[in-house]
Amino acid sequence: MHDYQAPSGLLNQRTILVTGASDGIGRAAAISYAQLGANVILLGRHQDKLISVYDYIEKKGYPKPAILPLDLAHTTAEQLDQLAQRLLDEFGSLHGLLHNAAVLGEITPLEQYEYGTWDLVMATNLRSVFLLTQSLLPVLRQAAAASVILTSSSVGRQGRPYWGAYAVSKAGIESLNQIWSQELKDTSAIRFNCINPGATRTSMRQYAYPAENPETLRRPEEILNLYHFLMGDASIGITGQSFDAQPNN
């Protein structure tokens, strides 16, 4: 599946919501889903950055996307329920959901970790993934076989000193993936899987490793095979798994 080559039109007539679609891996994934035929809903904090992704997709002639400016760190369950109703009214069903948005927080010992940063990281990276999934379940259930992809990290598989709330939030993501998939596998056609992107040339990576030469890393556009495989019908029947987008890195 790492060398999976998506056929053109793989995601025709699909509606797919991507969080953190304004930058980095989420931006690249959203554009590639649109290229494969999907109507993409671009969710992110900054409207101006979302508009630039929108313009890019429109200029390429891919299906018209939608923009959803939302700060996931400060969104309530009620706001997300209203969002779900809007999606139901406008699109009828949601075929795919890529939970990608995250923040790094601080790289510092737990002993010195700021309480406020802890809350912000956990709210953005973990709580919002739980709440958004919960709110969107009725819309995901309307699709014949919806795919939900969560985004983990190697520090979510094995804790690493100084990675604090980020590592804990990503361990929580691995757990959420297992629980959602097991709870829903017998009562729905929704599949849940988790991707660890691996070291990728983005601003988050640069912030975490300021001394690293970004040229040594793959660009987001180069790691997307697994994102296509898990979003398309080839992965129907696979649920509750956690994959590496760059297994040899």
Separation between Cα atoms, residue 25 and residue 21, nearest integer Å: 8
151 binds ligand NAP (CB under 6 A): yes
73 binds ligand NAP (CB under 6 A): yes
Residues 34-53 that bind ligand NAP (CB under 6 A): 44-46, 49
C-beta of 43 vs 143, nearer to ligand NAP? 43
Choose the binding region for ligand NAP from 87-95, 100-108, 135-143, 231-239 (rule: CB under 6 A): 100-108
C-beta of 19 vs 35, nearer to ligand NAP? 19
Q: Count of residues binding ligand NAP (CB under 6 A)?
A: 29
Choose the binding region for ligand NAP from 60-68, 70-78, 89-97, 137-145 (rule: CB under 6 A): 70-78
The site string for ligand NAP over 220-249 (x = CB under 6 A, - otherwise) reads ------------------------------
Exactly one of 33, 54, 62, 166 is catalytic; name it: 166
Q: Which residue has the tokens 């940063």?
A: 117
Separation between Cα atoms, residue 241 and residue 174, nearest integer Å: 9
193 binds ligand NAP (CB under 6 A): no
What strand order describes the sheet that includes 191-196?
A: 66-69, 39-44, 15-19, 96-98, 147-151, 191-196, 241-244
Tell me whether residue 166 is one of the annotated catalytic residues. yes
Choose the binding region for ligand NAP from 16-24, 53-61, 135-143, 157-165 (rule: CB under 6 A): 16-24
Where b means 16+ CB within 10 Å and e means fewer, 28-64 reads: bbbbbbbbbbbbbbbbbbeeebbeebbeebeeeebbe
Q: E strand or H helix at 44, and its extent?
A: strand 39-44
Q: What is the CA radius of gyration of the chain?
A: 17
Backbone angles phi, psi at 243, to 5 degrees: -120, 160
Q: Least distance from C-beta 246 to ligand NAP, angstroms?
A: 9
Helix pair angle (164-184, 115-122), 10° resolution: 30
Choose the binding region for ligand NAP from 55-63, 98-106, 108-116, 139-147 (rule: CB under 6 A): 98-106
Q: How many Cα atoms are found within 13 Å in the side-chain-facing hemisphere of 173?
A: 36
Q: E strand or H helix at 46, and its extent?
A: none
100 binds ligand NAP (CB under 6 A): yes
Catalytic residue list? 166
Residues forming the site for ligand NAP (CB under 6 A): 19-20, 22-26, 44-46, 49, 71-73, 100-103, 124, 151, 153, 196-197, 199-200, 202-205
